[in-house]
């Protein structure tokens, strides 16, 4: 009996090329990815608040150069990180080796993993949904990768006037915290849309928090307002 091939990757090659070209600067805390360095402790704190990380099998989808993957590993998780940008994965591998961390990095699509038998206790997908062509399908793939009762964590950007002014005009064009063109407004995702897609994929929304990044004090904290950046905790429910 022949096995069906996995579906094609849910990826935009233009987006992948854009980030891959900057891979060598990923771990520069003062470079183009500085906002991610500021966000990372808050992201890890949100994950640790809602899931048991120590000893968990964790999958970081769209791991980039490995910021969250390394934080999860430091917290005691057994981490697999996947990304379709080869340059990013190579940077992640080198940095983990220098830090003495055993992280399983792979150049692989989430759909490819979901077609296999590996399942994880915790699945994270940060700042990625707004960069793929079919975000609702990605949520279904994340659901397939987590065991029943397991946890999925997603962060993305809201779609409204405030997020357009702060996250695109302000962050990319005025303050130049991010390269121009990092985000496209039409691809941003309202929390109601994400919740609807999640439920359709068998994921129950359990918690949501906004993320406030102050570019002047370079501080980052969780808030109750998801108007711009926000994090969501989803639980895989039994069929």
Q: Please give the structure tokens belonging to residue 21.
A: 């070209």
Q: Which domains does the chain have, with CATH numbers?
A: 13-236 (3.40.50.150)
pLDDT score for 3: 46
C-alpha distances (whole Å) from 143 to each of 43, 136, 193, 197 are 20, 11, 16, 11
Say which residue, 155 or 35, is predicted with more confidence.
Answer: 155
Taking the complete model, does pTM exceed 0.85, yes or no? yes
- The closest alpha carbon to 51, from 147, 172, 170, belongs to 147
pLDDT score for 120: 98
Residue 40 has pLDDT above 90, yes or no: yes
> Per residue in 79-111, pLDDT tens?
999 999 999 999 999 999 999 999 999 999 999
Residue 156 has pLDDT above 50, yes or no: yes
pLDDT score for 2: 40
d(CA 163, CA 159): 6
> Per residue in 173-231, pLDDT tens?
888 877 788 889 999 999 999 999 999 999 999 999 999 988 888 899 999 999 999 99
């Amino acid at each position: 009996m022949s096995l069906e091939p996995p579906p094609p990757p849910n990826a935009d090659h233009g987006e992948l090329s854009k980030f891959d070209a900057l891979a060598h600067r990923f771990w520069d805390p003062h470079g183009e990815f500085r906002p991610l360095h500021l966000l990372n402790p808050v992201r890890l704190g949100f994950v640790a608040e809602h899931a048991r990380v120590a000893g968990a099998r964790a999958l970081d989808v769209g791991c980039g150069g490995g910021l969250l993957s390394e934080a999860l590993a430091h917290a005691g998780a057994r981490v697999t990180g996947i990304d379709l940008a080869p340059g990013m994965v190579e940077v992640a591998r080198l940095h983990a080796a220098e830090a003495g961390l055993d992280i399983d990095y792979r150049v692989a699509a989430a759909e490819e993993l979901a077609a296999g038998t590996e399942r994880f206790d915790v699945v994270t997908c940060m700042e990625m949904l707004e960069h793929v062509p079919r975000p609702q399908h990605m949520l279904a793939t994340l659901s397939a990768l987590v065991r029943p009762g397991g946890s999925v964590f997603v962060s993305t950007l809201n779609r409204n006037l405030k997020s357009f002014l702060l996250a695109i005009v302000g962050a990319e064009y005025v303050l130049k915290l991010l390269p121009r063109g990092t985000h496209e407004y039409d691809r941003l995702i309202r929390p109601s849309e994400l919740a609807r897609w999640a439920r359709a994929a068998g994921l129950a929304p359990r918690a949501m928090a906004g993320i406030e990044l102050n570019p002047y004090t370079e501080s980052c904290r969780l808030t109750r307002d998801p108007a711009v950046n926000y994090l969501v905790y989803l639980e895989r429910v039994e069929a």
